[in-house]
Amino acid sequence: MQKIVTIVALICAIAFQVNAQENRNQTYNITLGNVQYAHHDEKMSAGEAIGKVLTGLATGQVSVQATKYEGDVKNAIIKGLSGAYRFHYNDGLQTGELAEEGNIVADAIITNIQAKSNTQTWKDTKGKIQTSTYYTGIAEAMLTLKDAKTGEVITNTSFKGQGTTVSSFSTSDQAIRDALGKLSNRISAWLNKYKPLQANIIEGSSAKKDKQKEVYIDLGNSEGAFAGLHMGVFIVKTVAGREAKSQIGKLKIEAVEGDEISLCKVQSGGKDIKAAIEAGQQLQVISIDK
């Protein structure tokens, strides 16, 4: 009887490990829900905006809420939600999809769409008066991520994109477009940190003396691996029943060689990675920013 119980427990443990392996890089649907602009009540007429610009000429600084870019900010948020590794942007989750565990609705409040200009005046070496105008665009939004099935709030996070143009041909429009691109990037980066791609080192490849130069990981086409992806290498330990990670190096995928395998170049920590592999330590690989 005890032998049967042991066998059953072993089978369950193996099944759990296989299931965890299958779900480790599960992708989730994400959609944009309600979008509000916090400054709707502060919109100015064209005359009011011109008046503010004229007033700002005395100080050389002008700041106006760029209300016409509200739709562009919404599109930038969608681009950010679409750019994450493990999220599939869905333009409106349907009833059946809401029941799937882990799907997310992101409500957004656009808190700032601002165009700033700063004009500087000086005399050149010939005594002639010269002027330069610098433009700064700012786009800020707060996202509330909610469980699509239960409506439970997961987190509230604020994001800011800022762009500056300094050439003689620059415009406020260019600065805001730059800010919108950075806003998208920050949203994608946050989601990638929230749900990173995960893998394991399956074996070392090339090494030089006491440093590991290349390794193979069990992440490939089927789970979204791509050449150029940066990943951190962590030693995993259990301390007081809790999992503790300690980063010992960095990798970059050089080539995706199949559905479940990629070759990585060791960018840092080659000595520690080689020692950990030889010692049979548990190593986890997690996608990171550069």
* DSSP annotation string for 12-65: HHHHHHHHHHHHTT--EEEEEEEEEETTGGG---HHHHHHHHHHHTTTTEEEEE
- pLDDT class for 7, splitting at 50, 70, 90? very low
What is the average pLDDT across 105-126? Answer: 85
Structure tokens at 171: 């415009």
The H-or-E segment that residue 3 falls in is helix 2-23
**174 Cβ contact list (under 8 Å, min separation 6):** 135, 137, 163, 165
Q: How large a percentage of the chain has pLDDT more than 70?
A: 80
More confident residue, 171 or 30: 30
What's the rounded Cα separation, in Å, for the pair 113 and 136?
Answer: 11
Count of Cβ atoms closer than 10 Å to residue 178 Cβ: 20
The pair of structure tokens assigned to 198 is 């995960």
pLDDT band at 53, cuts 50/70/90? Answer: very low
3-state secondary structure at position 288: coil
Res 288: pLDDT: 93
Helical packing angle, 70-82 and 172-194, nearest 10°: 30
Give dist(CA 13, CA 89) in Å, integer: 34
pTM score of the predicted model: 0.77
Domain locations in the chain as residue ranges: 26-194, 198-287
pLDDT confidence of residue 281? 87
CATH code, residues 198-287: 2.40.10
User: Residue 245: its pLDDT value, please?
Assistant: 87
DSSP string, 236-278: EEEETTEEEEEEEEEEEEEEEEETTEEEEEEEE-HHHHHHHHH
Report domain 26-194's class.
alpha beta
